[in-house]
Amino acid sequence: MSTKSDGMNYVPEGGAERVVDAGEFVFAAAHLDHGHINAQATGLIQAGGVLKYVYDPDAAKVTAFREQFPDVTPVSSLDEILDDDGVHLVAAAAIPCDRGPIGVKVMDGGKDYFTDKAPFTTMGQLEDARAAVTRTGRRFFVYFSERLHNESAYRAGELIHEGAIGRVLQVLGIAPHRLAKPTRPDWFFRKRQYGGIITDIGSHQFEQFLHYASATDATVNFARVANLANPDVPELEDFGEASLTTDNGASCYLRVDWFTPDGQSVWGDGRTFVLGEKGTMELRKYTDVARDSSGDIIFLCDADGEREIPCSGRVGFPFFGQVILDSLNGTEDAMTQDHIFKAAELSLRAQAFADAAQV
All structural domains of the chain = 7-144+318-333 (3.40.50.720), 147-315+348-358 (3.30.360.10)
Quote the pLDDT of residue 294: 79
Give burial (CB, 10 Å; 0-12/13-18/19+) of 294: middle
Give burial (CB, 10 Å; 0-12/13-18/19+) of 23: exposed
Quote the pLDDT of residue 13: 77
Grouped pLDDT means (10 residues each) for the chain, 359 residues? 58 84 97 97 97 98 98 98 98 98 98 98 98 98 96 98 98 97 96 98 96 98 98 98 98 98 94 98 95 88 97 96 98 97 98 92
Closest to 279 (Cα-Cα) out of 110, 154, 164, 141: 164
Nearest-angstrom CA–CA distance, 339 and 147: 14
Quote the pLDDT of residue 4: 62
pLDDT in tens, 344-356: 999 999 999 999 9
Query: What DSSP assignment string belongs to 201-214?
Result: TTHHHHHHHHHHHT
